[in-house]
Amino acid sequence: MVLLFIIIINITLQIKYTLFLNQIYFTLQRSNLNKYTKLITKTNPKKIKCMESKEKTNNKNEFRNWLDSIPTGMYNETRARVIEECIISEQIFRHWRAGNTKIPELAKPIIEGIAGKPIFKNN
């Protein structure tokens, strides 16, 4: 009887500990989604949904990551080729790279053709 009681208490403590760890993991995972998110001790689904919707929807990270992966010696050639083939100014290129403006849908296939690989996820 005592052994059964000890087993039940042990299982209960393990479940509580597991739930506690899951809550901490969930909170940390959500806090890393957005740089403006603060560590939330009690997760509120409405607040998390609001913070996720604040993320920018442009392709700045994808385009910038591709540009950062280009070797230094080829960067100027690639930049000039993108500017020439997309028929844009250097200022617009800098805006695309910084993520200040969205890259038009018609320019995405041209950029992917220059890259030789798919860059944009939602293309």
Return the exposure string of 14-23: e unless at least 16 CB atoms fall within 10 Å of the residue's CB, then b: eeeeeeeeee
pLDDT in tens, 81-116: 999 999 999 999 999 998 888 999 999 999 999 999
- pTM of the entire predicted model: 0.52
Average confidence score pLDDT of the chain: 75
Rounded Cα distance between 61 and 67, Å, is 10
pLDDT in tens, 23-75: 665 565 555 554 444 444 455 555 555 554 444 444 558 899 999 999 999 99
